[in-house]
Amino acid sequence: MTDELVHYELAEGIATITLDSPANRNALSRRLVAELFEALDRAEADADARVVLVRSADRVFCSGADLSEAAGGGMDEGTKALVALQRRIVTHPRPVVTRLAGPVRAGGLGIVAASDLVICSDDVTFAFTESRLALAPAVISLTVLPRLTSRAAADTFLTGRTFDASEAAAMGLVTRSVPAADLDDAVAEACAELAKAHPQGLRETKALLSRALVENIDAHAEEVAALSARLFGSDEAREAMTAFLTKKR
């Protein structure tokens, strides 16, 4: 038994990173983010790893920022860490495939958008809930906005509404959605196809594809991290987060 929140396993060239913090629905706590960084570093150092697969142990993939931490203190370091996490995924030398079997909210969509391929079951739901908590999806905009049309971004960012897998695929947020019963086969097939490529081919092609995304992150990281931290620290957001957490209990 282990109390780690992120598990790492290597099998047949696939480095599987599993988020396992069910108590807070895989919220991006300081500890989970730190362990996720460690797992990504391990996958890069592992010579036998050809592909990185990110998934969740339970159905929920990620509920976003850890609001308990955010409501209780400053988020200066937390917002910077989420910027760095997205950049780490985008610049990782191995292709990163994300498997979604359940809901993704707010900050968790930064992981989704930073990934190279995202395969989700057709019953998965998504929402950029920040606006409803007196926040803005500032940090994750670094990777999310380049994936979406401006109309899709305005619709989903401003309303905070829940949308489904087919809509997420149509707007470019995920690679494709498949019937839930076919999810594991589709993920395995995607990983197998990637593993056929030469490591150098994968590394250099990924760098080519992500060049503009990395430039966008580097150009705006400081600005959006500061904006996000300011909003998390505002009285309005603290009140909204406290009300949300109280309602959940």
pLDDT digits (tens, 9 = 90+) for 77-136: 999 999 999 999 999 999 999 999 999 999 999 999 999 999 999 999 999 999 999 999
Which whole number is the average pLDDT over 5-25?
Answer: 97
Number of H helices, E strands in the chain: 10, 9
pLDDT for 2 equals 66
What is the chain's mean pLDDT, rounded?
95
Per-residue pLDDT for 23 more than 60? yes
Instruction: Confirm if 94 and 44 have CB atoms less than 8 A apart.
Output: yes
Which whole number is the average pLDDT over 20-29?
Answer: 95
Which whole number is the average pLDDT over 16-20?
Answer: 98
Instruction: Confirm if 142 and 86 have CB atoms less than 8 A apart.
Output: yes
How far apart are alpha carbons 12 and 49 in whole angstroms? 8
Confidence of residue 73 (pLDDT cuts 50, 70, 90): low
Domain ranges across the chain: 6-180
Instruction: Confirm if 70 and 133 have CB atoms less than 8 A apart.
Output: no
Say which residues have a Cβ less than 8 Å from residue 127's Cβ, sequence separation at least 6.
105, 106, 156, 160, 161, 162, 163
Q: Give the CATH superfamily of 6-180.
A: 2-enoyl-CoA Hydratase; Chain A, domain 1 (3.90.226.10)
Instruction: Confirm if 239 and 246 have CB atoms less than 8 A apart.
Output: no
Per-residue pLDDT for 74 more than 90? no
More confident residue, 73 or 199: 199
Q: Mind listing the pLDDT tens digit for each residue in 181-208?
A: 999 999 999 999 999 999 999 999 999 9
